[in-house]
Amino acid sequence: MRDRLLWLIHSPFALLFPILFWALVVGLAYYRNDRTLQHAGFDLAKQRGEVAFQLIQTMRHWNAIHGGVYAPLTEQTPENPWLEIPEKTITSPEGVVLTKLNPAYMTRQIAELLEGGRLEIHLTSHTLMNPNNQADPWEKRALTQLEESGDASVVEIVDDRFRYMAPLHIDQSCMPCHAKMGYEIGDMRGGLSVSFPVSYAQRLTTGLRRDSILTHLVTFVLLSVTGMIALTGLRRLLRSLQRERDDRESIIVDRTANLNKEIKRHRRSQETLTYLAHHDELTGARNRRWILAQLGYLKQEAEQCSGTLAVLMLDIDYFKHINDRYGHQKGDEVLVTFVSRLQSELRQSDQLGRYGGEEFLVLLPDTSQSDAEKIAQRLRRAIADTPFQINDEVLDVTTSIGLACLEVDASLGQDELVGRADVALYLAKQTGRNRVVCWNDEMAH
């Protein structure tokens, strides 16, 4: 047995063993890292679909709560033949003929403007009023899946496009148009799909994948060379004196140190990817996906324990003016400072996340409405009372805050809870900004 081992060590093919071994080890490490990158790219692309959906849904909600909007009657905007309401078309005192755009018609026109571009949207349903909203095969399957599973969204890659669909549910503002179709409040009436090229997600991870390939390639070369050197040292060890054995131990120590460095480097890379998957890269706050998942967990916990949960939605007042006047770089620094001040005022149990743009969500578990309002006022003062020092500029920054609470024994959906905070925020901005507005039942009408 010993003679066979010595023969194997001195074999001319022995130097191939480290190459094959490290090719297997580094290949498996690269495969795992690449899968992580793929998931990260998919999650980032999904977030883009969610943002586009929420933006369109917010516009539709705004249209619905205002009972529709009027626009000049033109060839591009004719009467909506599927809208049966009084005063569908009116004439202004100046003689301009106006026709009413309900949420569906407005969404259809936006979709036509986006058609053929990088980002496309489509409003559809199994039960159509407008045949132009006919679902394609993927949308039909997605609608069925949403109806049967109750999932919040369906996300897939179809051909060369990233497809995202989320359901649309009947609320009170939808009933004037959809009650005659047999819908009731809470029913799913259809879905809004968002699509954009797969290349968007690929661009997000191309640089990281290139660095990963280079890192693993260099690691493979270093480890293979180190393995061959160690094997050569082992050959010398078998026919050398004690001094040569000491040299071999030094080589082993160096190889172990290099291997430890590579392991630590790989671990740091994994930790970085994990951090990016749950945090906003600019501000360091939790990202939209994480904060909404945490909202679902805290809501379930509050319902099971008959507890309370308060949700704050914050928006930086006139943030667009800051970007336009001082530039996006200073705008980014304002966002970072804004988050830092909020974090310093929050309790350890409170959760802060970036909802999108300059909007943020704060979750306050086990907090009554009166205590939540005090916390919201404290956050508002923390922003407004001390000007922001951004390099050589001093900026007066304020924030508007909408507050919604899940009280004991209340039955309230997660989206509805966030929607209430959003409506309260909208009212705060409409009534002067730099204030806190709490949701009440009168806002539902």
Residues identified as active-site: 358
Tell me the two tokens of residue 323.
């970007």
Cβ proximity of 80 and 99 under 8 Å = yes
DSSP, res 101: E
Where does residue 159 fall: left (phi above 0), alpha (psi -120 to 50 degrees), or beta otherwise?
left
Cβ proximity of 299 and 309 under 8 Å = yes
Distance CA 300, CA 329 (A): 39
Which of 134, 140, 138 is closest to 111 using CA atoms?
134
Distance CA 7, CA 3 (A): 6
Residue listed under structure tokens 């009554």:
368
Distance CA 396, CA 413 (A): 37
Burial 82-120 (b: 16+ CB within 10 A, else e): ebeeeebeeeeeeeeebbbbbbbbbbbeebeebeeeeeb
- For the chain, the first-to-last Cα distance in angstroms comes to 88
Distance CA 117, CA 286 (A): 31
- For the purposes of burial, counting CB atoms within 10 Å of the CB of 335, is it exposed (0-12), middle (13-18) or buried (19 or more)? buried
Contacts (Cβ under 8 Å, ≥6 apart) of 209? 34, 37
List, in sequence order, the alpha helices (H) in 115-166. 137-149
List, in sequence order, the alpha helices (H) in 151-281. 175-178, 198-238, 242-278
**SS3 (DSSP) at 366:** coil
With residue 338 as reference, give the H or E element that holds it: helix 328-345
Tell me the two tokens of residue 352.
């802060």
Question: DSSP E strands: which ranges in 234-290?
Answer: none
**SS3 (DSSP) at 350:** coil
Concatenating the DSSP letter of every residue in 259-290 gives HHHHHHHHHHHHHHHHHHHHB-TTT-SB-HHH
